[in-house]
Structure 1
Amino acid sequence: MTDDDPLELARRIAQSYRGKGGPIGTGQGSTPRRRSRPVQPSRGKNEDPSTIADLLGRVVQQQGWAEKLDDQRIFTDWERIVGSEVAQHAQVDGFEDTIVHVRATSTAWATQLKLLAPRIVAKLNEALGDGTVTRIDVRGPQAPSWKNGPRSIRGARGPRDTYG
């Protein structure tokens, strides 16, 4: 067979990929060259595989978001901290400067929550860390607005103008 034989060329290529043959351009008489393995760089400790949770934890710590995320637990853990019955009738509207703003479903529940406020503050501080919450601002249900709507009149005084 000649060097121009395509089948022989394919065999030599396959053998060179398997590491059994010499370079493709050389003939049968050449000495086979050892294939060197590529040098892999040593991986540092920071380049080891890690979970996404670990990575996000490091980002949160580096950016200084840990305290803000802990404060958000008031919203996510509200039902677990205060109980399902209270959580059914009271929802957290906001949290700023250690004050939790709570909206009650009725004025009776707003009164009840104002009486329970010291206990709820103690439970929140126990769950979230001492000093996280200093006060609870309880608000009753939002009254309907008579200023907007299809039958509102500019400058009117609300429902008083329609009944009389």
Structure 2
Amino acid sequence: MTHDDDDAEDRGGAAEPPAHLAGLTGMDLVRRTLEEARGAARSQGKNVGRGRRAPTPRRVAGSSRRRWSGPGPDSRDPQLLGAATSDLARSRGWSGRVAEGAVFGRWRTVVGDQIAAHASPTSLNEGVLTVAAESTAWATQLRMVQAQLLAKIAAAVGDGVVTSIKITGPVGPSWRKGRYNVRGRGPRDTYG
């Protein structure tokens, strides 16, 4: 410790400012000290200054990836499961198959509880959705509202997934018994 430091401690512990800062007090002293610190940093080659932004990373041609997150949403932020699976399906080319599966998975919400209670989708081949109704009356009703059903399905899962609807009613009883059968009327042809 030097003799000047001992004198400063004897006067209450505060050291005197250098001679060039002697007349300054309060905020003027702080501003002047900050300016000197910035000047020293600049002389060392550092980028300093009030209101300046951090240097932006150099962009390489064809590269648009940032190295920092930033204040807005980013693909590296946590994502909802639905959004993550949609991105995965899109990147793998599964979007069409996922949309087809959504017709079956969302059937009740797309067509409503009343229709879903009396009709269900059975197959989807090349844009043709086959719907099985529980009675012929329901099959007829569904044929009359077929255009509205197509519009609801397109709004829910996307255009072009279902292009037409084939509505089937209940199937009548079969006279076939066993593994083998004969074409024609069978045993009834002997009665008349």
Deviation per CA, 1:103-153: give whole Å up to 9, x if none. 11111111111001001001111111123222111011122222125xx98
Whether 1:93 aligns to 2:122 is: yes
Whether 1:84 aligns to 2:113 is: yes
- Given that 1:146 and 1:159 are in contact with CA atoms closer than 8 Å, whether structure 2 keeps it comes out as no
Hey, what's the Cα distance between the residues in 2 that align with 1:106 and 1:162? 34
SS in 1 for 2:142: helix
TM-score under structure 1 length normalisation:
0.56
Specify which of 84, 108, 122 is matched with residue 137 of structure 2: 108
Alignment of 1:2-81 (within 5 A): 53=81, 59-81=88-110
Q: State percent identity of aligned pairs.
A: 37
Specify which of 151, 158, 161 is matched with residue 122 of structure 1: 151
Q: Which residue of 1 is the match for residue 175 of structure 2?
A: 146
SS in 1 for 2:145: helix
Hey, what's the Cα distance between the residues in 2 that align with 1:146 and 1:65? 43
Deviation per CA, 1:59-79: give whole Å up to 9, x if none. 534431122111111101111
- Given that 2:99 and 2:161 are in contact with CA atoms closer than 8 Å, whether structure 1 keeps it comes out as no
Hey, what's the Cα distance between the residues in 1 that align with 2:141 and 2:186? 30
| Structure 1 position 159, deviation (Å) | 8.3
TM-score under structure 2 length normalisation:
0.49
Hey, what's the Cα distance between the residues in 2 that align with 1:89 and 1:107? 11
In structure 2, the gaps of 5 or more residues are 1-75
| Structure 1 position 158, deviation (Å) | 6.1
Residue type matched to 2:92 in 1? Q
Q: Which residue of 1 is the match for residue 163 of structure 2?
A: 134
Number of residue equivalences: 116
The 1:159–1:79 alpha-carbon spacing in structure 2 relative to 1, beyond 3 Å, is: farther
In structure 1, the gaps of 5 or more residues are 1-47
Hey, what's the Cα distance between the residues in 1 that align with 2:162 and 2:98? 15
Residue type matched to 1:155 in 2? V
The 1:146–1:162 alpha-carbon spacing in structure 2 relative to 1, beyond 3 Å, is: farther
SS in 2 for 1:155: coil
The 1:158–1:139 alpha-carbon spacing in structure 2 relative to 1, beyond 3 Å, is: farther
Residue type matched to 2:120 in 1? Q
- Given that 2:130 and 2:168 are in contact with CA atoms closer than 8 Å, whether structure 1 keeps it comes out as yes
Hey, what's the Cα distance between the residues in 1 that align with 2:191 and 2:119? 34
| Structure 1 position 154, deviation (Å) | 4.5
Deviation per CA, 1:46-66: give whole Å up to 9, x if none. xx9x89x58766653443112
**C-alpha root-mean-square deviation of aligned residues, in Å?**
3.4
